[in-house]
Every structure is written in C-alpha cells, then in structure tokens.
Amino acid sequence: MKRETKAQRAARVARILELLDREYGTDYRCYLNHETPWQLLIAVILSAQCTDARVNIVTADLFKKYDSLEKFAGASLEELEQDIRSIGFYHMKAKNIIACCRSLLADFGGEVPSELSELTSLAGVGRKTANVIRGNIYNIPSIVVDTHVKRISRKLGLTREEEPEKVEYDLMKVLPEDHWILWNIHIITLGRTICTARSPRCGQCFLKEVCPSAGMR
C-alpha cells in the first residue's frame, strides 16, 4: 500500500465512513436476539466460535426455560450443558454462564455493569464481550474487534496488527468516536455479504475506490 499522509488517511477514512453510512444506514443493530442486558451478556458468551444464527436458535428456547438471572445462577451444570450442547465449547460456556450469573447477583445487585474492569471480572467475559455490552446496552463508544473487523480493517489499511486489542487501539486512533459502535455493525454486514473471508467480491464492493486491497486476495 502507498504511504499516506495523515491528512490523506483522514480523508480516506471519512470517505469510507460516508460510503458505509450510505449503504447500511446509521441505526444501531444487534445480531444477537435479546430482551435484557443479562440476556445479551449470555448470548455473547455463547457466541464465541459460533455463528449468531446458531446462538439465536438456542437462546429462543433457553431464555424461555431460564427466564431470570436467578434461574441461570441456580442451574444444574449438566442440564445447562445439555441445553446448549449444539453450540461449540458448551462445557466451558455452561460453567462460565452459571458463574457469571452468580457474580452478577452477588456482586452487582443483579445488574450488568458498564465499566470495562467490572465486566471483564465476570466469568467468560473478555474485552470483546465487554465492548459489545458497553456499546449495545450503554451506548458507550466502544469498538468490538471480531474476526470480520480484524480482517477487513487490515484490508482497508487501518491497522497492521493481528492481536484484537492492538487492532482496537489502532481503530480508536483513526475512527471518530461517533462511529466506534457502528464500525462493528457495518463491517460485520460487509464481511458477511461482500468482503467474505473466502472470496471478497471487490468488483461489486462499494468501498473499492478507497480500499488498498481491492482486487487482491
């Protein structure tokens, strides 16, 4: 990729955001079905290494059977494992969900906290999950770095990093705060439809004029 001046990069980022907003709108949307903050937290814990579609299938029944934090906190590990066994890593996830819900009740009065340090103190909650909660529930500008965001942010020349936390810091430097939450929403949509991992359709991509990787594999 050609070296860019700061001003050139800022102009290119502004154009990328303009094109994404035009194509996908500026409404916040969450691909994981939920009605309460703790339901979203559980859905995000379940979603590691699993598709959102599969998680939504499982939670449709799960949230009916366990309709309160107390029910998850008091669940039998073996039974919860069976309830979520169609999802990868169900053993670990069931254990984390029970521990996480117990801690929410014991330490946070049954509320999902908004502070990063408090969220990441919960079982099964890493920085990515915490940022999903902060953005989706509390509207706190946060950049969620998942596989699509890492891959496509690199293609767009906005980071060279591999580690999600370093990608997040690079993106914080180049994206305006009002697009931190939207970045994840937009890039997931782009990654699922046009810029897929297997075969990006650069010819049909509305970002091709501002993407240094256009036409490359």
Stretch that binds ligand SF4, among 47-55, 114-122, 128-136, 205-213 (CB under 6 A): 205-213
Stretch that binds ligand SF4, among 23-31, 50-58, 65-73, 192-200 (CB under 6 A): 192-200
Residue 200 interacting with ligand SF4 (CB under 6 A): yes
Residue 207 interacting with ligand SF4 (CB under 6 A): yes
**Residue 26 is encoded by which pair of tokens?**
């500026």
Give the integer Cα–Cα distance in Å for 23 and 37.
29
The count of residues interacting with ligand SF4 (CB under 6 A) is: 13
CB of 32 to ligand SF4, least distance (A): 24
Instruction: Report residue 42: phi and psi, to 5°.
Output: -65, -40
Residue 68 interacting with ligand SF4 (CB under 6 A): no
Give the integer Cα–Cα distance in Å for 196 and 186.
13
Residue 17 interacting with ligand SF4 (CB under 6 A): no
Kindly state the DSSP code that residue 113 receives in the 8-state scheme. Answer: P
- Label residues 66-85 b or e (16+ Cβ within 10 Å = b): beebeebbebeeeebbebbe
Residues carrying an active site annotation:
128, 146
Residue 188 interacting with ligand SF4 (CB under 6 A): no
Residue 16 interacting with ligand SF4 (CB under 6 A): no
How many other CB atoms are there within 10 angstroms of residue 120's CB atom? 15
Give the integer Cα–Cα distance in Å for 127 and 115.
11
Residue 205 interacting with ligand SF4 (CB under 6 A): yes
Interface contacts to ligand SF4, rule CB under 6 A? 152, 155, 194-195, 200-202, 205, 207-208, 211, 213-214
